[in-house]
Amino acid sequence: MNKKEEAQPIRVILADDHAVVRAGIRQFMERNREIQVVAEAGDGPQAVSAIQEHRPDVAILDLQMPGMSGIEVTRWVRANARSTGVLILTAYDDDPYVLAALQAGANGYVLKTADAAEIVRSVHAVYEGKSALDPAIARKVMGLVSGRRGETAVERLTDRELEVLTLAARGYTNRAIGHQLGISDRTVQGHLARVFSKMQAASRTEAVMRAVSLGWLPPDIGQLAEE
């Protein structure tokens, strides 16, 4: 982490309809000097309002909330506050919830049974543009994606599209990908759009997981950025 990142903590909002849960999460988050909780929300509409007002780096959302679910809030974020990363923190590991959240554009999905250190690591990962999946969820998603592989043939990616997806999986932003490959941000966006279309994916996380299941990317792709 560079000096600029040390000087600017990761700004987070917490959205959960249980005040006790929010208090517990906030307590261990604020012990980490690199994270600042800027607002809390007790339901979906409050979460949207908090994101509009504070423009946080990461929104931590429960799935089941009054007014709007975490999935609905995630869709709103992807349409209206794209610079905000979304980390789903929930007790639900049911297949429909997991897939719906990732398809809505969530950057991470962690279970409330995870320890505090893992949740903090997930916040950092989402902030850095990486995918953050609970190990149990990652295995589940791999199984689901592999099971869907035979339903519809996936068009092979071009070499350049695979280069772009590989860098995206390693946590690079569009600008950083463009710098690495000597192309513009707009060109990177175009490549990612074609990747999502070919792989029938709604987010980087879903595209990466499907590419891993197809053997196009190594299973430890997300860890390579840290080496």
Q: For the chain, what is the domain count?
A: 2
Select the highest-mean-pLDDT range: 38-42, 89-93, 164-168. Answer: 38-42
From 73, 107, 138, give the residue that closes a domain.
138
- As a whole number, mean pLDDT of residues 124-144 equals 78
Q: Which two tokens stand for residue 152?
A: 């519809």
CB of 179 closer than 8 Å to CB of 185:
no
Do 157 and 54 belong together in one domain?
Answer: no
pTM equals 0.66
From 107, 138, 169, give the residue that closes a domain.
138
Structural domain span for residue 178: 145-226
Do 97 and 174 belong together in one domain?
Answer: no
DSSP 8-state assignment for residue 21: H
Residue 147 pLDDT greater than 90, yes or no: no
- As a whole number, mean pLDDT of residues 69-90 equals 92
For residue range 157-209, list pLDDT tens digits in order: 899 999 999 898 887 888 889 999 999 988 998 999 899 888 877 777 778 87
From 138, 170, 186, give the residue that closes a domain.
138
Do 29 and 111 belong together in one domain?
Answer: yes
Residue 77 pLDDT greater than 70, yes or no: yes
CATH number reported for the structural domain that contains residue 173 in this entry: 1.10.10.10
Do 49 and 132 belong together in one domain?
Answer: yes
Do 83 and 123 belong together in one domain?
Answer: yes
Helices 204-213 + 185-199 axis angle, to 10: 60
Query: Pick the residue with more confidence: 84 or 30?
Result: 84
For residue range 104-114, list pLDDT tens digits in order: 889 899 999 99
Do 158 and 119 belong together in one domain?
Answer: no
Q: Which two tokens stand for residue 103?
A: 């398809």
